[in-house]
Amino acid sequence: MSTEILIIDDNPDIRDILNDLISDAGYKTRVAANYNQALKEIDKKLPDVAIIDVKLDKGDNDGIELLSHIKSKNKDIPVIIISGHANIEMAVKSLKSGAFEFIQKPFDRDRLMNFVKRASENYTLLKQNKYLETKLFHSFDLIGSSNNISKINDQISKVALTESRVFIYGPTGSGKELIARKIHKISKRKNKSFVILNGALLDVKKYEQELFGEEKEDGSISYGALEKASGGFLLIDEVSEIPLETQSKILRVLIDQKFKRIHGNHDIKVDVRIICSTSKNINKEILNGNFREDLFHRLNVFQINIDPLSKRVQDIPLLIEYFSNKIAENYNLKKFEIDPHNHNLIDYLWPGNVRELRNLIERIAILSPDSPEKTFNIIKESLKISDNVEMSKEKSLSKPLKEARESFEKEYLSSQLKKFGGNISKMAKFIGMERSALHRKLKGLNIKDLN
């Protein structure tokens, strides 16, 4: 869908020039000849970009009033202010009021079109980011009752209100990006962009281009992640994968709060809150010479650690129930049941963590099994656990009764202990034992309390 640009100018010749110039570039246009027409056009439908003359028919600054009116409806819409009576004071006032750019009449056509292109790209990026947030993360939350998740939720509520840089540690699929998005969602920058730069997925030769942008020979500009995230957040995912040479330049940016695009001559000021994440042992990477220690200390102002799912087993039943409901809702499917205490789900190690669990539930939702047996078969097949179960049965049948019973009790109680997150009181009530007797049984079977 083409970007729609609203042109507001009381001079018919300027209106026509702007309309022809912008239409020829492939953009949709609407025009307004005075203040009241402009108000009607804005209130009828917000544009993607607006170009407004400062002085219309109502007063000296009615263009600024229209700028404020647009921003009150959607602060993300870029507004380019133009003026035939420009001075430094007017330019500063426009930019302080939220203008994307300020340009003086008579304007250079190429310069104006460069502003239009940048404004369009900026707004498109913001819309895409908001769509992805809604599609992938807005409906999902950080679910769990484990100490680890409770601590993280508390950390998020505190660090989000600051401007501190955050370093998130956790294995692949554990929820690092979700934590970063939750920080963004309740921060002072929540209405600004959230940009992701994935260090593990980039071509080694393109790191700096993706980060800093580039000024090309034809005069066009490719904007990097730092500029795209201006005023908002930049998540550098798998930051440990970034080459050492680029790491030194990132350090320089953090110190100077400015950078130059590739082949650029002008400094660009940085107003970005940076969050980094990694699934590697960063201290080991520093010792091996793969990551700069001075950069690490700049980035690691506030640290958040998320455990693998196998270490917070008590969260699994909650996650199963949560994702089952959410996926059924998102796909408009009938509600389906998965036993959240299925021992195969509790005992599985989940190498892909929460992402693997969510994918399994999504697979069950798509296949829509019509019986618990079919659901169970999908779980067994997906997790590739059937062979292990058969081997366990065979192994038990080869043991004397006393040894087999002891083996079963140990497996059963270990599983229950995981399920209840080490809560002996709840576990004892569920299995029908006195708390003191359960303690003795666990000690006798050499099963260690999770706490």
Residue 249 CA, chain-centre distance (Å), reads: 24
Class of the domain covering 4-127: alpha beta
| Spatial separation of the C-alpha atoms in residues 7 and 105, rounded to whole Å | 15
Provide the residue type at 380 as one letter: K
Beta bridge partners of 236: 197, 276
| pLDDT tens-digit series, residues 160-197 | 999 999 999 999 999 999 999 999 999 999 988 899 99
The backbone torsions φ and ψ at residue 377, rounded to the nearest 5 degrees and listed phi first, read -65, -35
Please list, in sequence order, all residues whose beta carbon lies within 8 angstroms of the beta carbon of residue 316, skipping any fewer than 6 positions away.
309, 340, 345, 346, 357
Work out whether strand 221-222 and strand 214-215 pair parallel, antiparallel, or are unpaired: antiparallel
pLDDT of residue 200: 79
Q: Are 18 and 50 in contact (CB under 8 A)?
A: no
Task: Please give the helix or strand (H or E) that residue 367 lies within, else none.
Answer: helix 353-367
pLDDT of residue 437: 77
Residues of the chain with pLDDT under 70: 1, 59-61, 86-87, 128-140, 218-220, 385-405, 407-408, 419, 449-451
Buried b (16+ CB within 10 A) or exposed e, 112-138: bbebbbbbbbbbebbeebeeeeeeebe
Classify residue 108 by its DSSP letter. P
pLDDT of residue 434: 83
Please give the structure tokens belonging to residue 444.
């006798």
DSSP secondary structure string for all residues of 378-435: HHHHHHT-HHHHHHHHHHHHTS-HHHHHHHHHHHHHHHHHHHTTT-HHHHHHHHT--H
pLDDT of residue 393: 45
Please give the structure tokens belonging to residue 346.
């509790």
188: helix, strand or coil? coil
| Spatial separation of the C-alpha atoms in residues 363 and 351, rounded to whole Å | 17
The yes/no answer on whether domain 312-385 falls in CATH 1.10.8.60 is yes
Burial of 283 per CB tally in 10 Å (0-12, 13-18, 19+): exposed
8: helix, strand or coil? strand
| Spatial separation of the C-alpha atoms in residues 9 and 105, rounded to whole Å | 12
CATH architecture observed for domain 399-444: Orthogonal Bundle (1.10)
Asked, colleague to colleague, whether 139-307 and 312-385 share their fold, the answer is no
Please give the structure tokens belonging to residue 195.
């940009």
DSSP secondary structure string for all residues of 139-152: T------SHHHHHH
Beta bridge partners of 82: 53, 103
Please give the structure tokens belonging to residue 67.
């700028």
Q: How far is CA 228 from CA 192, 198, 233, 367, in A?
A: 10, 15, 9, 40
- Other C-beta atoms closer than 10 Å to the C-beta of 436 total 10
| Spatial separation of the C-alpha atoms in residues 3 and 132, rounded to whole Å | 19
Task: Please give the helix or strand (H or E) that residue 166 lies within, else none.
Answer: strand 166-169
Q: Are 187 and 296 in contact (CB under 8 A)?
A: no
Place of tokens 């953009």: 27
Pick the closest to residue 73 from 155, 151, 26, 6 (CA basis). 6
Place of tokens 């990026």: 125
Please list, in sequence order, all residues whose beta carbon lies within 8 angstroms of the beta carbon of residue 265, skipping any fewer than 6 positions away.
none
Class of the domain covering 139-307: alpha beta
Is the pTM of the predicted complex or chain greater than 0.85? Answer: no
Domain ranges of the chain: 4-127, 139-307, 312-385, 399-444
